[in-house]
Amino acid sequence: MKTQQLLNQDLNWITQVKELNSSQALEQLFTKYLPLVEKYGQIYHIPLFDRADWYQEARLVCYQTCLIFNGNHGSKFGSFFKLRLQNRAANLLREQLALKRQTNIKSVSMEHLSEVDPELKSLLCLRSDLNNNSEFISFDYGSYLQTLSELELLALKVCLGLHPQAVNNYSKSSLMRAAQRARLKLRQLC
């Protein structure tokens, strides 16, 4: 087909999507621009998105682009869709990275925690290195966690503020005893 015929075919599909809400026309348009969708899926590689997720987002962008596209001013659907798809990919990537940064925003330094709760300093076995005045953790955290019972692990999470809603399921004294056992096991490792 010639270029003008391809453009007319695009306009026909876009009109069907706008006026008739045609899924078939949308799918034909999407299939035509699938190489573009693949390209931006590879360029932006959005974490936690598989191919199906990316296709769904791209179809949504294609549909929205059809609804707002106006070919009367000489613009081409392909260029407009490309721009909108690129912007959507960038926004999705930005959102994912912002979610990753949330843990950095909510984090608290170990020095601050040890000042607030001196018992926490002994819990984590922080030791001072007199040569360079730095602190380091001197145990294998994974093996420590494997030694804990389910209740001891829950008590440790509650002490660290990671699982405060679990307090309702157990008495305060049983959680305190479990936390004490967790501390003792940790001290044995250090």
C-alpha 156/C-alpha 107 separation (Å) is 17
Determine if residue 107 is left, alpha or beta; phi over 0 gives left, psi from -120 to 50 gives alpha, anything else beta: beta
Per-residue pLDDT of the chain (190 residues; tens, 9 = 90+): 577 777 788 889 999 999 999 999 999 999 999 999 999 988 888 877 889 999 999 999 999 999 999 877 778 899 999 999 999 999 988 887 776 666 655 566 667 666 766 656 555 554 444 344 444 555 567 777 788 888 888 888 777 777 666 567 788 888 889 888 988 888 777 6
C-alpha 36/C-alpha 22 separation (Å) is 22
**Which among 5, 29, 3, 32 is positioned nearest to 18, based on CA atoms?**
29
pTM of the model: 0.53
DSSP bridge partners of 128: 135
